[in-house]
């Protein structure tokens, strides 16, 4: 792997840990919603989510990161991909790659709510009854495997370079951590920021138990995809939201084993 790409991947991991630590502190000092009865409950919730996230991160690093690089290098060597249909300046290629990858992430997320088989895995993410920054790491391993395999084809079709993929993954995951966090923004900041990226106020609607809200606000990084494709829904951030999924509140469903077993449950 090229040294520059290796450095960027190390930066990606470091940024994810730094943002996680920062948001955990902010949530602890000034939570937007008082979720937890005490530190022990909060700690157990975080450990469970982060254990699943760590398992998935290790799997991606071992099985898929190298495959993404190979796919990107093949597309580059063969002049393949949408971004190579015209001769773009370097900056435009980067912007185009980020936009195409984020558009795919929106489409993939929406598919997970529409296709029953995919929803069986994705509901692990939605069954979290306490939405906070650690929820950003709570995805079923099966969903991660399928999305990682599909990303190979997306990288080739887009013509994204390996470092553009890592750049997008870095930007996207930091925003995903942010918009899952149990934090609030001043009204003026919210009004400006949510026109560009997904904020906690936008994404908490997506984690509502009420299905019309669950099936909305699919964007990961840029918020405009939902507005563009008619899936945007807004509610006053001050209004309480009930997080989770009916039938999945029990401790047996919230354990790591229970989360991994979720696709098998009715």
4-13, 33-42, 183-192, 241-250: least confident range: 4-13
Residue with tokens 């950003």: 136
* pLDDT at residue 239, rounded to an integer: 84
pLDDT at position 210, please? 94
What pLDDT is stored for residue 3 in this prediction?
64
The pLDDT of residue 39: 85
Residue scoring higher pLDDT (9 or 149):
149
- pLDDT given at position 102: 98
Q: What is the pLDDT of residue 35?
A: 84
Element (H, E) at 126: helix 116-126
pLDDT bin (cut points 50, 70, 90) of residue 241 is confident
Asked if 128 and 253 count as a contact pair (C-beta separation under 8 A), the reply is no
Please give the pLDDT value at position 13.
82
The pLDDT > 70 percentage for the chain reads: 96
| Domain range for 49 | 3-264
- The structure's pTM equals 0.94
Tens of pLDDT, residues 104-130? 999 999 999 999 999 999 999 999 999
How confident is the model over 34-46, as a mean pLDDT?
89
Nearest to 173 by CA among 57, 64, 94: 57
pLDDT tops 80 at residue 249? yes
What was the pLDDT predicted at 14? 87
Q: How far is CA 123 from CA 51, 58, 117, 129, 252, in A?
A: 17, 21, 11, 12, 15
Indicate the number of domains in the chain.
Answer: 1
The mean pLDDT value for 138-156 works out to 97
34 or 7, higher pLDDT: 34
Contacts of 220 (CB under 8 A, 6+ apart): 102, 105, 106, 109, 172, 175, 176, 198
Helices and strands per DSSP (H, E), number in the chain? 13, 0
Residue located via tokens 């001769």: 87
pLDDT of 5: 61
What confidence tier does 206 reach under pLDDT thresholds 50, 70, 90?
very high
């Amino acid at each position: 792997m090229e040294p520059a790409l290796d450095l960027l991947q190390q930066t990606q991991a470091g940024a994810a840990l730094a943002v996680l630590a920062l948001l955990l502190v902010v949530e602890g000092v000034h939570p937007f919603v008082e979720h937890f009865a005490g530190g022990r409950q909060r700690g157990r919730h975080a450990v469970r989510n982060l254990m699943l996230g760590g398992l998935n991160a290790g799997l991606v690093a071992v099985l898929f990161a190298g495959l993404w690089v190979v796919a990107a290098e093949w597309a580059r060597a063969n002049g393949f991909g949408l971004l190579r249909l015209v001769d773009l300046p370097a900056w435009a290629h980067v912007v185009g790659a980020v936009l195409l990858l984020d558009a795919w992430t929106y489409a993939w997320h929406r598919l997970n709510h529409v296709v029953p088989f995919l929803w069986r895995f994705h509901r692990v993410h939605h069954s979290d009854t306490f939405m906070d920054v650690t929820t950003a790491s709570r995805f079923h391993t099966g969903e991660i495997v399928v999305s990682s395999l599909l990303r190979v084809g997306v990288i080739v079709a887009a013509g994204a370079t390996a470092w553009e993929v890592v750049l997008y993954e870095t930007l996207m995951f930091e925003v995903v951590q942010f918009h899952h966090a149990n934090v609030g923004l001043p009204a003026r900041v919210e009004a400006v920021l949510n026109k560009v990226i997904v904020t906690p106020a936008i994404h908490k609607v997506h984690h509502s138990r009420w299905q019309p809200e669950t099936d909305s606000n699919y964007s990961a990084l840029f918020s405009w995809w939902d507005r563009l494709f008619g899936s945007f829904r807004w509610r006053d951030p001050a209004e309480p939201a009930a997080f989770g999924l009916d039938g999945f509140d029990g401790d047996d469903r919230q354990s790591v084993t229970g989360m991994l077993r979720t696709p098998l449950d009715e």
